[in-house]
Amino acid sequence: MIINIARRAHDHNWELDPITRSLLDTDFYKLLMLQFIWKHFPRTRATFAVQNRTTQVRLAEVIDLKELRDQLDHARRLRFHKSEMIWLAGNTFFGKRGMFESAFLEWLQNDFRLSDFELSITDGQIELRFEGLWTETTMWEIYALAIIDELKTRAALKPMTEFEIDVLYARAKSRLWDKMERLLGVPGLSLSDFGTRRRHSFLWQEYVVLAMRDVLGGSFSGSSNTYLAYKHDLEAMGTNAHELPMAVASLADTDEELKRAQYRLLELWQQTYQGELLILLPDTFGTTQFLRDAPDWVADWTGQRIDSKDPFIAGDEYIAWLKQRGRNPQRKRLIASDALDVDKILALHAYFGGALQNGARPEEFKSARDFADPQRWLPEPRIRFSSGWGTFLTNDFRNCNPQGNGNFNPVSLVCKLVAVDGRPAVKLSDNYSKAMGPDAEVARYRRVFGTEGQINVPVEA
């Protein structure tokens, strides 16, 4: 657990130390989705593209393109190790053994390859695209984001002295401890590491995850990072992402098929997975319309993950919908995962994990002692709530740099599906400003799905 992060960072061998250490170094949901794609869409082609939504940071002027190309080439050469395949085949995930089919694992070890990539620069930004079979391109998402984020970190570390780096990490460690101290002892708390895609570095994510495990104990559910779960005997966390409904919608020929695509995806998913993997992600084209028009069987799914909507509003909306459909919300799961930090995690836990008493407000709950008073908080969960903690867990170096600049601040970097079999892919989101796709297609999707329940707020990291 005691790792000299500053010395490791200062002494990095930039040429030989790869950022992607294993093909397992990805979010667990990418492997679940890869098996789904392999099973249902083996010949479908897909294009992904990286986009920096923090446009004021000109990444192509920060990151050396040769280093980026070398790291991407290294990732393409990686293959799954035998020990990793044994772990995937024999481990229990979400209480189920044999999550991955033997034929899929055989394909994964013998035939899986990452596609080639196209790399260029436009107006100070990195242009990075991946095109090929969907099975060859989907896994690039997390590898590409982690590589770019860590190269940004390494570039900021290069001009610093070892003492300055030591101060940087001392401040970040102190901040991490302050966050964990506030979470320690909160009854019923459940949170997971969702921070791979925007991490400061692999070493820092590993440090943070082990610290969370050791300090928070049972309140720390696990990590979305499959390699860290494999390496440190943690629960691998994750279900599915927006990519899937976006792809199924892209393949629709009519407006009616387009509207139904979000439910057609669910039909296919539950042919492959059951139980805790039946988690809805309804905001791809707008949560309100999704719930309003969903077939009744959708309410039998295990829970919902909230991404782009205010989690307080989205959670209440889901609970009300469940009650309207005659389901008991206390038997369902609600996962929040967008731009979370300690204040919001505690407030959401108070709001959904217990019944607020005597006019108490969720934002008043700042640490474990605030949950100890039964006059303010009584542990009667409205729903099984948990938090997926991302950027501000694994990349919170804001104001930690002794040089006084913001070079370590996280950027909002995404790698999204942009085309399927030559057709444009679209994501609307519950946040109007997060819509992605060609303008004409976005307008068409908004006509088909509507914009009810959407808001327009700045995009956070």
At 164-199, the pLDDT tens digits run 999 999 999 999 999 999 999 999 999 999 999 999
Q: How far is CA 233 from CA 3, 374, 404, in A?
A: 19, 36, 38
User: In sequence order, what are the beta bridge partners of 122?
Assistant: 125
- The residues near 126 (Cβ < 8 Å, ≥ 6 apart) are 50, 52, 59, 60, 63, 65, 68, 119, 148
Residue with the two structure tokens 């539950």: 270
pLDDT at 41: 98
Q: CB–CB of 79/59 below 8 Å?
A: no
pLDDT at 6: 65
Of 195, 241, 222, give the one whose Cα is nearest residue 29. Answer: 241
List, for residues 346-364, the tens digit of each pLDDT value. 999 999 998 898 889 999 9
List, for residues 251-302, the tens digit of each pLDDT value. 999 999 999 999 999 999 999 999 999 999 999 999 999 999 999 999 999 9
pLDDT at 17: 75
SS3 12: coil
List, for residues 52-105, the tens digit of each pLDDT value. 999 999 999 999 999 999 999 999 999 999 999 999 999 999 988 899 999 999
CA–CA distance, 265 with 113 (Å, rounded to integer): 25
pLDDT at 107: 98
Q: What average pLDDT does the chain have?
A: 94
Residue ranges and CATH numbers for the domains of the chain are: 5-162+415-428 (3.20.140.10), 168-394 (3.20.140.10)
Residues in the chain, overall count: 461
pLDDT at 12: 55
Of 451, 76, 118, give the one whose Cα is nearest residue 288. Answer: 451
pTM score, two decimals? 0.95
Q: Per-residue pLDDT for 1 more than 70?
A: no
Mean pLDDT (whole number) for 119-126: 96
Mean pLDDT (whole number) for 220-245: 97
DSSP 106-165: HHHHHT-----EEEEEETTEEEEEEEEEHHHHTTHHHHHHHHHHHHHHHHHHTTS-HHHH
CA–CA distance, 196 with 159 (Å, rounded to integer): 25
Q: Per-residue pLDDT for 14 more than 50?
A: no
List, for residues 372-388, the tens digit of each pLDDT value. 988 888 888 999 999 99
List, for residues 85-96, the tens digit of each pLDDT value. 999 999 999 988
pLDDT at 273: 96
CA 235, 239, 242, 243 torsion-angle sign: positive
Q: Which residue has the higher pLDDT, 17 or 294?
A: 294
Q: Per-residue pLDDT for 109 more than 70?
A: yes
Mean pLDDT (whole number) for 12-19: 65
- Residue ranges of E strands in 240-302: 279-280
Q: Per-residue pLDDT for 404 more than 50?
A: yes
Of 268, 321, 328, give the one whose Cα is nearest residue 294. Answer: 321
CA 402, 5, 74, 414 torsion-angle sign: negative
Task: Give 98: exposed, middle or buried? Use CB within 10 Å, 0-12, 13-18, 19+.
Answer: exposed
Mean pLDDT (whole number) for 435-447: 96
pLDDT at 361: 94
Task: Report the interhelical angle of 28-40 vs 255-272 (nearest 10°).
Answer: 110
pLDDT tier at 16 (50, 70, 90 boundaries)?
low
Mean pLDDT (whole number) for 238-259: 97
Mean pLDDT (whole number) for 135-157: 97
pLDDT at 456: 73
Q: CB–CB of 360/407 below 8 Å?
A: no
Q: Which residue has the higher pLDDT, 339 or 278?
A: 278
pLDDT at 10: 58
- Residue ranges of E strands in 251-403: 279-280, 303-306, 333-336, 355-356, 377-378, 384-389
pLDDT at 166: 95
pLDDT at 365: 96
